[in-house]
Structure 1
Amino acid sequence: MTSRVLPPGPTVPRAVQGAYALTVPGRGLRQMRERYGDAFSVNVPIFGHALVLANTAEIKQLFLSRSGTVENIQPNLGRVLGPGSFFALVGEEHHKQRKLLVPPFHGRRLAAFERIVEEEAARELATWPRDRAFATLPSMMRITLNAILRAVFGAEGAELDRLRALLPRMVALGSRLATLPFPRGGAGPWGWFRRMRRRYDEIVDRLITRASHDDHLDDRDDVLALLVQSRYDDGSPLGRAQIADQLLTLLSAGHETTATTLAWAVERLRRHPDVLRGLVEESDAGGRALRDATLLEVQRTRPVIDLVGRQVRAESFRLGRWTLPRGQNVLVAISLVHEDESVFPNARAFDPTRFLDAKPDLYEWIPFGGGTRRCIGAAFATMEMDVVLRTLLRDFHLEPTDERDERWYSRGVASAPGRGGRAVVRRRDRHPRPAPPTRDSASR
């Protein structure tokens, strides 16, 4: 038998550890790292006895481990998104579906999606109030939702309106349920979620039927059109339930988390006027290097997902210092890695220049997870954030503030700024008249 060697951790009851994790997630992890080091054990609802890692070498080994040795942590978002989602799939089936879905998020299709995101961003930002404080998170949610409904679902007309009305409530409830150990009974929150899921499936079924009869399907760029046409190596198509699950997975991965990161970007930039000023100057000149670096730094300092996990499927697994048995859950503490001074010097400072001359190591900068389960929509989400921030800088003056940092607020899966990323903006005159000459300049 393989001995189970795990690091120490808190010994209070599971319910107490779970309550603490929900109420003070970031601070609790920091306190445990200070006490136990860069690896410790926890006992929390849903995941039970789990190993928490903040050691980059061990995290890299975990992410690079072969399918079959470790898989996605159990339980996971698959219990909300459906058995056909990436989160639920393992092994060869996960690999096959990932292979089908890589093309839409690169090349020509990604360029087509950029136009959609810019249209939605310009339309939403035009409704922003001037010269008074307001929360930007609701706007960012609408931008990312509408962009995904068009780019991923290919929705329009009545179906677009129905999904716009249904999905925000459904995603918000699903995000809560995914982090709570409620039984999946027929009553209460799970019952509400299943009723919404049935309505969602009905709408998507109509979209699939419409796409299947579209004589111009080859000309469409949306992901649903690609999935309807996709075939496995044996020539078989994806089932309708699989398509519905994957579309919901892509929505969940690219909607709330992306919108929340954009709200954090507003919150960070208002408190760092030098960075904001540099971004405006660069944007006006047509550049983007500082904007790219800023979005990397926002995600480093304010990762909206705090933990990503794996489960051991082999009989035993030697991970760095630890020998883990089958069924052992392992949690990667994203925020602890991002705050590690040995990885990111002066880690508590918001300093985008750290990424101007060097791209981050994807086993140290991990807001999208890593390995074969790294978020498949990472390129799409990055494009969304860049386009929305670019549009904001082009159209508005974002007023700096000396207010205290906004606190973290848990929305279930994602952690958002506690006041919604509040902003005060003024519309920019993008074609200012030249200033009249002064007496001194006129005399020269």
Structure 2
Amino acid sequence: MTTVTLPDGPTTPAFVQGIEILAGRTRAWRRLHQRYGSAFMVAMPRFGPTLVLSEPAEVKALFTTHTDLVDNIDANLGQFLGPGSLFALRGEEHRKERKLLTPPFHGRRLAVYESLIEEEAVREMAGWPSGREFATMDSMMRITLNVILRAVFGAEGAEFDQLRALLPKLVLVGSALAALPVPRRLFGRFGPWARFAAYRAQYDEIVGRLIRRAAADPQLSERDDVLAMLLQARYDDGSAMTHSEIADELLTLLTAGHETTATSLAWTVERLRRHPDILRRLVEENDAGGSALREATLLETQRVRPVIDATLRKVRTDSLQLGRWTLARGQHVMVSVRLMHDNPELFTNPRDFDPDRFVGARPGTFSWIPFGGGARRCIGAAFATMEMNVVLRVLLRDFTLETTDAPDERAHFRGVALVPAKKGRAVVYRRAPRPPVAEAAESGVERGAEVTA
């Protein structure tokens, strides 16, 4: 028999450890790292004894290990998004599905969505109050939800409005159940699971109509929305996705594709208000038609304020050697995004908000990991990066963002995401329209670091 080798960790009761993590995740990870080093064991709520990693070589080893040996955890978002979701699939099924879903969100396809994003940003920001403090996150949520709805379905309509009202409620209940799991039978037909099931039934009915209508569209091959592409996509054996599989994947894209992006944008506002020099330089660059610092700022925001601060795997083989540790089948392993981004060996003065570290520099695949890593890296990373870039460009172009000396907004754990506790509050003033930047000036702008998925 192989001897299991694991690092040390706290010996307090599992319940106490769980409360400490839920009460202050970032504080708990940093305290444990300071005491035990770059790897430690902890009793995670829902997952039990979990190996937490933040040593770069071991993180890389985990992300590059074949999914037959280490794959997604069992208790994942697939329980909310459906058995056909990428979150629920494993092994070869996951690889085949990911291959079908990749084309709409990469390469030249991204350019199709840029004008759509700008249109939604301008429309939402037109209602921003001038000179009065407000929370930007709700506004960013509306922008990103409208963007993903239009990208997925191609046009607005009655179903679009129904989904726009339904999805925030579905996400809120699902996030709460993910954070504080409640037995499905508890409270019967009046409990949170019953509410979630009702929302999911509404979703299936609305999206089922849209799928059937699109499948019967004689102009389907000329459409460029995600639904049309999935209906026409084929696996290697020539078979098509079932309508239920498409519904699950669309729910995955609609929910995961807007909340995290909107939260990162709210964190960006929160950071820029407290760093006036960076904000001033961003406005100057934006007015000149540049983008390098803007792109670097978004990379840095996601480093210092990752929306998802952990990614988990489960060992699927009898024994696995991972760096210093020997793991048994069923062992949960967590990569701490927060501790990786805090590592001074990877990022000089890691607690500082310093976008210049990414100007002209590409972030490391296994060190800058707000989208996760390996075979389960977020499939929409490139789309999200482009969307944040466009929205921030519009904000800087059309508004003056007032700075503040108020304390940093703390991170609030909302079941899945870490959001600004005050939702990224801002004070803005509309800027006078500026003449378009000359094409000659634009041609000399050097592009900043890009994120690929």
- TM interval, shorter chain, is over 0.9
TM-score by length of 2: 0.94
Q: CA deviation at 1:116?
A: 1.2
Q: Which residue, 425, 428, 435 being the options, matches 2:431? A: 428
1:354 aligned partner: 357
1:178 aligns to what SS in structure 2? helix
- Whether the 8 Å contact between 1:311 and 1:329 is mirrored in structure 2 is yes
1:217 aligned partner: 220
1:324 aligned partner: 327
Pairing 1:83–2:90 present: no
Q: CA deviation at 1:184?
A: 2.5
Pairing 1:50–2:50 present: yes
Paired residue type of 2:392: L
How far apart in 1 are the matches of 2:11 and 2:434? 63
Paired residue type of 1:233: D
1:299 aligned partner: 302
1:308 aligns to what SS in structure 2? strand
Spell out, residue by residue over 1:320-340, the C-alpha distance to the aligned partner (whole angstroms, 9 max, x if none). 000000110000100111011
| 1:231-246 → structure 2 map (5 Å cutoff) | 231-246=234-249
Q: CA deviation at 1:181?
A: 2.7
How far apart in 2 are the matches of 1:239 and 1:256? 26
Unaligned residue ranges in structure 1 (runs of 5+): 433-444
2:383 aligned partner: 380
- Whether the 8 Å contact between 1:45 and 1:181 is mirrored in structure 2 is no
1:435 aligned partner: none
- Whether the 8 Å contact between 1:341 and 1:347 is mirrored in structure 2 is yes
Paired residue type of 2:130: R
1:128 aligned partner: 128
1:442 aligned partner: none
How far apart in 2 are the matches of 1:67 and 1:334? 20
1:250 aligned partner: 253
Q: CA deviation at 1:357?
A: 2.4
Q: CA deviation at 1:413?
A: 0.3
Pairing 1:366–2:396 present: no
2:153 aligns to what SS in structure 1? coil
How far apart in 2 are the matches of 1:344 and 1:6? 27
Paired residue type of 2:16: V
1:178 aligned partner: 178
- Whether the 8 Å contact between 2:77 and 2:87 is mirrored in structure 1 is yes
Pairing 1:193–2:160 present: no
- Whether the 8 Å contact between 2:292 and 2:360 is mirrored in structure 1 is no
What is the number of equivalent residue pairs in this alignment? 432
Pairing 1:33–2:33 present: yes
Paired residue type of 1:257: T
2:211 aligned partner: 208
Pairing 1:313–2:316 present: yes
How far apart in 2 are the matches of 1:167 and 1:87? 18
When structure 1 is superposed on structure 2, of 11-20 and 304-313 the one drifting more is: 11-20
1:311 aligns to what SS in structure 2? strand
2:158 aligned partner: 158
How far apart in 2 are the matches of 1:18 and 1:367? 23
1:344 aligned partner: 347
Spell out, residue by residue over 1:18-57, the C-alpha distance to the aligned partner (whole angstroms, 9 max, x if none). 1211111100000000111000001122111110001111
Q: CA deviation at 1:193?
A: 0.3
When structure 1 is superposed on structure 2, of 99-108 and 51-60 the one drifting more is: 99-108
1:261 aligned partner: 264
Q: CA deviation at 1:109?
A: 2.6
How far apart in 2 are the matches of 1:396 and 1:121? 12
- Whether the 8 Å contact between 2:337 and 2:369 is mirrored in structure 1 is yes
2:326 aligns to what SS in structure 1? strand
2:291 aligned partner: 288
Paired residue type of 1:243: I
1:114 aligned partner: 114
- Whether the 8 Å contact between 1:155 and 1:207 is mirrored in structure 2 is no
- Whether the 8 Å contact between 2:179 and 2:414 is mirrored in structure 1 is no
How far apart in 2 are the matches of 1:197 and 1:261? 26
Q: CA deviation at 1:106?
A: 1.8
- Whether the 8 Å contact between 1:337 and 1:364 is mirrored in structure 2 is yes
How far apart in 2 are the matches of 1:155 and 1:172? 25
Paired residue type of 1:184: R
Unaligned residue ranges in structure 2 (runs of 5+): 436-453
- Whether the 8 Å contact between 2:145 and 2:254 is mirrored in structure 1 is yes
How far apart in 1 are the matches of 2:61 and 2:233? 33
How far apart in 2 are the matches of 1:155 and 1:411? 31
1:324 aligns to what SS in structure 2? strand
2:179 aligns to what SS in structure 1? coil
Q: CA deviation at 1:191?
A: 1.0
| 1:407-426 → structure 2 map (5 Å cutoff) | 407-426=410-429
Paired residue type of 2:76: N
Q: CA deviation at 1:155?
A: 5.0
TM-score by length of 1: 0.96
How far apart in 1 are the matches of 2:86 and 2:153? 17
Q: CA deviation at 1:179?
A: 2.3
Spell out, residue by residue over 1:136-168, the C-alpha distance to the aligned partner (whole angstroms, 9 max, x if none). 000000000000011023352100010011000
1:5 aligned partner: 5
How far apart in 1 are the matches of 2:384 and 2:410? 24
2:405 aligns to what SS in structure 1? coil
Paired residue type of 1:394: R
